[in-house]
Homo-oligomer: A and B are copies of this chain.
Amino acid sequence: MTRDEAGFLASYDPRAYDPVAVTVDVVALTIRDGALSVLLVRRAHPPFADAWALPGGFVVAGGADGGGEDLPDAAVRELAEETGLAAADAALDRLHLEQLGTYGAPGRDPRMRVVSVAYLAFAPALPDPAAGGDAADAAWTPVAALGLTAAGAQPPGTTRPLAFDHARILADGLERARAKLEYTPLATAFCAAEFTIPELRAVYEAVWGEELHAGNFHRKVLSVPGFVEGTGGTSDAPGRRGGPRPRLYRAGDARLLHPALLRPSREEEVR
């Protein structure tokens, strides 16, 4: 650093600017009882007290000398804090986390200018959360129960309206999830370490909201290089309604599916 740069740094006063708060919000998805579900918390404090919202909160900034937390770390911390899931929990180990987008329209938070970085998480079936932090309650909620429109709005009279612009964020997260299942092997992130092809198909059906042809799906999954690899084992199939024991598979080493596994209902094809 030159002397000029050092001098500039010393005279720099960040508080001369209007303040902006940075938060993270997490769209955590899982499959519970065959239904795609999102983790929601009930807000204990205003604004939107008692309303349901995505788990999230302020990022620890740290001073000019460092000490702040990185954004993905903040997302995992908020997820753990507000749900009682220990950050060291084995379940959180298998978590897939990716950045979804940033929402910063003026007025989206009545307190002040807040820019929120949203993260999208895929998790295998997790235990019921325990409320913690600023949350009065926490629960996995089937997304179908929220009455979300594709445009990211909830019609008036919805039983569980979301705080802030969280309906918009959730709608974006759902669309991202649906798209990612097409060309990445991330459906395996919703499964346990070992899974069967029918279980994997159930994930696709829950996320896409439509039934898939069992036979063609099976052949397709096995034909995509690196999607899954067999373990040699067989499921012990508790509580099924008949049929042979399906074989067990692990996630393969592919990071992209090629050829992709495209959604059937593409009549819309947004024009």
- Distance in angstroms between the alpha carbons of A17 and B254 in the assembled complex: 43
How many copies the complex holds: the figure is 2
A18 within 8 Å of B (CB atoms)? yes
Give the residue name and chain of the B residue nearest to A8 (CB).
Answer: B46
Which residue of chain B is the closest to A226 with respect to CB atoms? B271
Q: Can you list 15 contacts pairing A with B, beta carbon distance less than 8 Å?
A: A1-B46, A8-B45, A12-B111, A15-B19, A17-B58, A18-B68, A20-B61, A22-B22, A64-B110, A70-B106, A71-B102, A71-B105, A101-B102, A258-B266, A258-B269
Question: Closest CB of chain B to A62's CB: distance in Å?
Answer: 6
CB within 8 Å of B: which A1-50 residues: 1-2, 4-5, 8-9, 12, 14-15, 17-22, 45-47, 49
Seen from chain A, the residues whose Cβ lies within 8 Å of a Cβ on chain B are: 1-2, 4-5, 8-9, 12, 14-15, 17-22, 45-47, 49, 58-64, 66-71, 99, 101-102, 104-107, 110-113, 115, 117, 225-226, 253-256, 258, 266, 269-271
Residues of B within 8 A of A45 (CB): 8
The SS class assigned to the A binding surface is loop
Asked whether B8 lies within 8 Å of A61 as measured between CB atoms, the reply is no
Tell me if B269 and A112 are in contact (CB < 8 A).
Answer: no
**Max chain B CB contacts within 10 Å: which of A18, A60, A99, A117?**
A18
CB proximity of A265 to chain B, nearest CB, Å: 12
Q: How long is the Cα–Cα vector from A249 to B45 in the complex, in angstroms?
A: 56
Instruction: Name the contact of A46 in the complex, choosing from B2, B19, B115, B253 (C-beta under 8 A).
Output: B2
Partner pick for A14 among B62, B69, B104, B112, CB 8 A cutoff = B112
- Chain B residue with Cβ nearest A257: B269
Closest to A266 in B: B258
- A271: chain B residues at CB < 8 Å are 226, 253-255
Bound-state Cα–Cα, A266 to B63, Å? 45
Rounded to whole Å, the gap between the CB of A17 and the closest CB of chain B is: 7
Q: With A5-B47, A102-B102 as known contacts, state yes or no: A111 contacts B19, CB within 8 Å.
A: no
Closest Cβ of chain B to A114, distance in Å, is 9
